[in-house]
Homo-oligomer: A and B are copies of this chain.
Amino acid sequence: MTDGITAPGPIRHEVLAAVLRVRQGSLQVLLWERAREPHAHRWSLPGGALGVGEGVEASIRRQLAEKVDLGQVSHVEQLAVFSAPDRMPGDRVIASAFLCLVPEHLDPEVPADTGWHPVESPPDTAFDHGAIVLRARDRLRAKLSYTNIGFALAPPEFTISALREIYSGALGHRVSATNLQRVLSRRGLLEPTGRTTKPGRSGGRPAAEFRFAQDSVAVTDAFAVLRPPAAPR
């Protein structure tokens, strides 16, 4: 059982991040072009080997800090372990994959060989990284619906139509500003800053500015069904 753990071969452990952001209404992922074999010139996720005294989340945060300023990553969460024996040629490598988010207003410096690519039509990906990106995308989409995770994609302050653009890009379909407003307000996720933004040259009513009430992820709509019976009163 847990006694007698032996690792007969050199199993290595790496951490990988699917770093997502929304720009111009489209969901993008940060990819890095491999220079060397295997899979040279294919695009892969940022990450690397796990350090000895390091937990997986600390490791991915550290490794991202070497490319993206850590403060610019607004959310980090475990996605899954990818462990197929043949997922990489050569040595056995197990990957802990993460979903990371960058807010829309930030533009972290990234090395020359890395760039942002649309999640819906990514370039040739290395190893199983394409599957990881899809998992990240699906996880984000699901969580937009029942958590406040939108805060991690949005700038600190925003108008509803700017937020609509972000949600729309992340979800991959049109979102109504009216209903987005209502849903998020009803759940108490939004609070007005009190200020408004000036309309553009084409006129229009000035838009009210909002911010997210909380800046850490929380489940806002647990148990749609089969919830505990109401307390008698």
Contact = CB atoms under 8 A, between A and B. Distances in A.
Contact of A80 (B35, B51, B78, B227): B78
Given A13-B7, A13-B94, A83-B56, A2 B48 contact: yes
Contacts of A55: 83-85
A62 to B, nearest CB: 13
Contacts of A1: 3-6, 32, 44, 46-48
Given A1-B5, A6-B49, A36-B3, A183 B226 contact: yes
A7 B12 contact: yes
Interface size class of A (residues with CB under 8 A): 35 or more
A10 interface: yes
A60 to B, nearest CB: 11
A204 interface: no
A173 B174 CA distance: 38
20 contacts: A1-B3, A1-B32, A1-B44, A1-B46, A2-B45, A3-B34, A3-B35, A4-B48, A7-B50, A7-B52, A9-B52, A11-B11, A13-B13, A50-B83, A55-B85, A56-B83, A56-B94, A145-B225, A174-B228, A221-B225
